A and B are shown apart, each in its own frame.
Chain A
Amino acid sequence: MKLAKVLVPAIALMAFALSGVPVQAAQKVKIGVSMALFDDVWLTLVRDAMTKWGKAHPDAELTIVDANNDTAKQTGQVENFLAQGMDAIVVLPVDTAATGPITKSVTKAGKPLVYVNRLPGNLPQSVVYCGSNSIEAGIMNMEELGKCMGGKGNLAILVGELSNEAAIKRTEGIKKVCKEKYPNIKIVREQTGNWKREQGKTLMENWLASGQEIDGVASDNDEMALGALQAIKAAGKLGKICVGGTDGSHDALVSMEKGELNNTVFQDPVGQGEKAVNAAYLLAKKESNPDVTDGNKIWIPYQPITKENFKSYMK
């Protein structure tokens, strides 16, 4: 009896171990994700979408790590992923100009690699990119903002972090529209606010104090635009200066509802997060992915958010 008491559970345990666990472990697709930064509002939404995707796919195992905005750290994390035997790797790069070592080590190990959100300067055909075409955001932002400005006046541009592809391309899009569509809009100020609300506010305060006449502010993201709006409000110039942002964040929509922010652009964090890990998953399973276009790109489209349609983006 005593023996049976010990043996029965032991055998049951062993049977369980033999039947369930190993089979499951063999089937699970292990995906390593290195995020440039956890500490960012919008990037958190991307991360949440990935986690949610992971919960919906029990045969996949996601490991998400924070690179703390440090390129060297990110490279090390990817090396660790390879050492841990990940089946596919997803990277939201810290610096789009410094992805070379990551691309090299992953392709050398023969593992699938997917970059998300920030387009690396150098992207070999075998590597997939999932994101939105940043220049589009700048174009949509400025087209809508230009209408508000009546096609003329002085424009200030709040630029994101200077080393980011999104900052460079969105600014490029803004300038492109000014040049081609609104020749009477003059760019008088252009400065980086590092994506931060606080810095957008400080810059706008200083610009207003400098005596420069400003009729519109085009911002590479919503946070800086909201900061600029606070400075405008404090100077009593609300309604006299049009402000346009990018991201379509919750706070931006609330501001639009109050009639403060003129427009923004929706960049779909859920689409980017989900499609990126999904692409990595399909690559690891060697299945085809209908989302891929242009050979190795998954484009998640931007959508302009205007006074007319903003309500449909509010939950």
Chain B
Amino acid sequence: MANPGVITAAEAAKRPAGGQMLASIFSKYGIFLIFAVMVVVASLLSPAFLSTINLINVVRQMSVVGLIALGVTGVIVSGGIDLSSGSVVGLSAVVAASLAQSADSSAPFYPGVHLPFIVPFLAACAMGALVGWINGGLVAKTRIPPFIATLGTYTAVRGAAMLYTNGRPISDLTDQYNFVGQGALGSVPVPILILVVMAVVTHILYARTKFGKYVYAIGGNEQAARVSGINTGRFKMLIYIYAGFLAGLAGLVVSARIGSGQPGLGVGYELDAIAAAVIGGTSLSAGGIGTVAGTIVGALIIGVLNNILDLMNVSAYWQQIIKGGIIVGAVILDQLKHRGGK
């Protein structure tokens, strides 16, 4: 009842065959079709695009933003926003890296401290969850708008990352740590595996659990959700914590990818993650709408776009203009299809 996403899906299923069904297919899968068209166009533009190595590159490069976007999707669905995730990447990256330096490091952060990989791993996730907990607390308890609350943590958390390292990078990390960002199991890079696993977990969490149902209900109509007995504050806290945890994990992955924890990591990622969610159909204007599959496709669209512009050697100035145009264009197209379907 308080879940518009479900209503739309249910209505779509009940619709009769014919033109209307086509329209409803478009409305449901519009963004997937746009993605498919992009892939076809990209492969026509550059013969290198469809090579295995390049396709792996695309997914590996988008995996960090994809991880963040999974959590951001839930936050936006609940009617909130999370601007802090890029800063969380920086903080979790430096904290984790400081606990993961190899024994032969020439610039040890904690001299003589050599910990098993599980410690930095947990530290990264915990840092993220901690910031998420603060975000959730601010939103649920003080009732200040999520935009302002997370804008505050966006600034403060970046400051904390700077403070922790005094602005310096933390390098010479252990092989185990770097494996998370640079290694592969079989022929599948680890960052992609992490993204796939977390996407599946997040999908189940959002679509199959009571927690997910409540998050959608709160986003759809918070008042109604509260009246029907949902502890809205508690579930808001939880969704921000989950988003923070994913951003922390993303910080671990990206620092392992470049073999260095840097406080400046992840600048602007929060906007890429929000863009991925929105391109993928998560609604910024109305809560309660958004899916994990859509967000992954949204992140893939951004990834393909970045990749094909590099492959074609488009000038850096034009890249920015084209990216902006295509992101807005994809969302407009998607919305037109939504309107056509209703």
Main secondary structure of the interface of B (DSSP, over half): loop
For the complex formed, measure the closest distance between the CB of A150 and the CB atoms of chain B, giving whole angstroms. 24
* A191 contact set on B, CB distance < 8 A: 310, 313, 316
A41 in contact (CB, < 8 A): yes
* A39 contact set on B, CB distance < 8 A: 158, 162, 167, 263-264, 267
| Contact among A44, A162, A250 for B167, CB-based, below 8 A | A44
Question: Which residues of chain B from 295 to 331 have a CB within 8 Å of any chain A CB?
Answer: 306-307, 310-311, 313, 316-317
With known contacts A205-B57, A211-B48, A251-B260, A198–B265 Cβ distance under 8 A: yes
Bound-complex Cα distance A207 to B308 (A)? 10
Contact string against B for A residues 293-307, beta-carbon threshold 8 Å, 1 for contact and 0 otherwise? 000000000000000
| Contact among A38, A192, A208, A210 for B162, CB-based, below 8 A | A38
B43 in contact (CB, < 8 A): no
For the complex formed, measure the closest distance between the CB of A275 and the CB atoms of chain B, giving whole angstroms. 21
A49 in contact (CB, < 8 A): no
A210 touches B257 (CB 8 A): no
Contact string against B for A residues 34-76, beta-carbon threshold 8 Å, 1 for contact and 0 otherwise? 0000111101100110000000000000000000000000000
B316 touches A209 (CB 8 A): no
* A234 contact set on B, CB distance < 8 A: 182
A138 in contact (CB, < 8 A): no
A41 touches B168 (CB 8 A): yes
Bound-complex Cα distance A197 to B313 (A)? 19
B24 in contact (CB, < 8 A): no
A251 touches B167 (CB 8 A): no
* B57 contact set on A, CB distance < 8 A: 205-206, 209
Contact string against A for B residues 145-179, beta-carbon threshold 8 Å, 1 for contact and 0 otherwise? 00000000000001000100011110110000000
* A205 contact set on B, CB distance < 8 A: 57, 61
Contact string against A for B residues 264-280, beta-carbon threshold 8 Å, 1 for contact and 0 otherwise? 11010000000000000
Bound-complex Cα distance A254 to B106 (A)? 8
Bound-complex Cα distance A196 to B255 (A)? 12
A162 touches B263 (CB 8 A): no
With known contacts A196-B264, A250-B106, A206–B167 Cβ distance under 8 A: no
A147 in contact (CB, < 8 A): no
A162 touches B171 (CB 8 A): no
Which residue on A lies nearest to B46, using beta carbons? Answer: A210
Bound-complex Cα distance A86 to B291 (A)? 55
Bound-complex Cα distance A140 to B48 (A)? 34
Bound-complex Cα distance A162 to B158 (A)? 23
A202 in contact (CB, < 8 A): yes
Bound-complex Cα distance A208 to B56 (A)? 13
With known contacts A162-B316, A251-B169, A230–B258 Cβ distance under 8 A: yes
A159 in contact (CB, < 8 A): yes
* B54 contact set on A, CB distance < 8 A: 206, 209-210
* A197 contact set on B, CB distance < 8 A: 258, 260, 262
Contact string against B for A residues 221-259, beta-carbon threshold 8 Å, 1 for contact and 0 otherwise? 000001100100010000000000000001100100000
For the complex formed, measure the closest distance between the CB of A117 and the CB atoms of chain B, giving whole angstroms. 15
Bound-complex Cα distance A196 to B313 (A)? 19
* A38 contact set on B, CB distance < 8 A: 162, 167
Besides A198-B254, A250-B106, 10 more A-B contacts (Cβ < 8 Å) are: A39-B162, A39-B264, A40-B264, A44-B166, A44-B168, A191-B310, A191-B313, A202-B310, A206-B54, A209-B53
Residues of A within 8 A of B (CB): 38-41, 43-44, 47-48, 159, 162, 189, 191-192, 196-198, 201-203, 205-211, 226-227, 230, 234, 250-251, 254
A sample of 19 inter-chain contacts (CB < 8 A) reads: A38-B167, A39-B263, A40-B167, A41-B167, A44-B166, A47-B167, A48-B166, A159-B316, A162-B316, A198-B258, A198-B265, A201-B258, A202-B306, A205-B57, A206-B57, A250-B107, A250-B171, A254-B171, A254-B172
Residues of B within 8 A of A (CB): 46-48, 51, 53-54, 57, 61, 106-107, 158, 162, 166-169, 171-172, 182, 254, 257-260, 262-265, 267, 306-307, 310-311, 313, 316-317
